[in-house]
Amino acid sequence: MTAAMYCGRGMLRTVVLERGLSGGELLNTEVIEDYPGFEHILGWELAQKFESHAKKFGAEFLQETVTCVRKLDDGSFEADTESGTVYRAPTVILTAGGTPIKLGIPGELKYAGKGVSYCAVCDGAFFKGDTIAVVGGGDAAVEEADFLTRYAERVYLIHRRDELRASKILQKRLFENPKITMIWDTVVEEIEGDAQGLVTNLKVRDVKTQEARDIAATGIFVFIGFRPNTGIVEGHVDHDEMGYMLTDFSMETSVKGLFAAGDVRAQLTRQVTTAAGDGTTAAIAAEKYLKALKDKVGVPMIVRTGGYAV
């Protein structure tokens, strides 16, 4: 949305293709406290402000699920969508974010939505007074464990190591919360449920002692990382070992004219501030790329096929 706002300010015709509501991971975060100028703001509220700001400068938001982005022989790009509409443009800024990584254990898929969740804000209210578990050791796991204590009576934070990766300020808040119990050096191996198909028990194992035990819990929230949604790009784009796209200082990928910003890009940290910064750089770089391209051959900004053009 930052990229769309800057593209609009640059007088570029800008279309944002979004598979759901605008905001991405902001919609899965209850409160934002680390975005400059907003000491405390709801995630969806900040997303709404971003979208409104981009629209003010002419960005058009369309609810479309992109299935493929490809570069054509003439140097332009096509974006296929589930609706059948194909969008064509001389440049693309990919800000597709990531998908939660699953544990891959028995019971996870069976009880998805019935006690297994990847979004505390979405599902936390269903566990009032319950005992639940959170799996992970990064910022997301620690932050969501703390958030879930407003609903649950007891929250177990299960981590496979003996120390957390989360920021110190989040760890301090976690350790001071009397409703949270840490379970170190432990992995969840199976999720069990009752005849009604609801989660009732977790089978876990200590990775140091190999001791196995059960944890009675009605819910498990998994926050062990994300995979970048880079698979929609057809053809090879340089990336790191985790699949995050490699870019230069202008956010351009190894594919000329394809820019990447936010969580799809390899970088040290993934925050709202860094995503917004990436979007700013990518938009300004895309504008310069288009100007150079237009000076050479003259190109339209966006063409929409499937019956009509805009």
- List, by residue number, the catalytic residues: 119, 122-123
The SS3 of residue 99 is strand
- In 15-96, at which residue ranges do the beta strands (DSSP E only) sit? 15-18, 31-32, 41-42, 60-63, 66-71, 77-81, 86-89, 92-94
Q: How far apart (Å, rounded) are the C-alpha atoms in residues 18 and 255?
A: 22
Q: Which residues contact 225 (CB under 8 A, 6 or more apart)?
A: 100, 101, 136, 138
Which runs of consecutive H residues, i.e. helices, occur in the chain?
2-9, 43-56, 120-123, 139-148, 168-175, 272-296
Measured between alpha carbons, how far is 246 from 243 in angstroms, rounded to an integer?
Answer: 9
Burial class of 253 by CB neighbour count within 10 A (0 to 12, 13 to 18, 19+): buried
For strands 226-228 and 154-158, give the pairing: unpaired
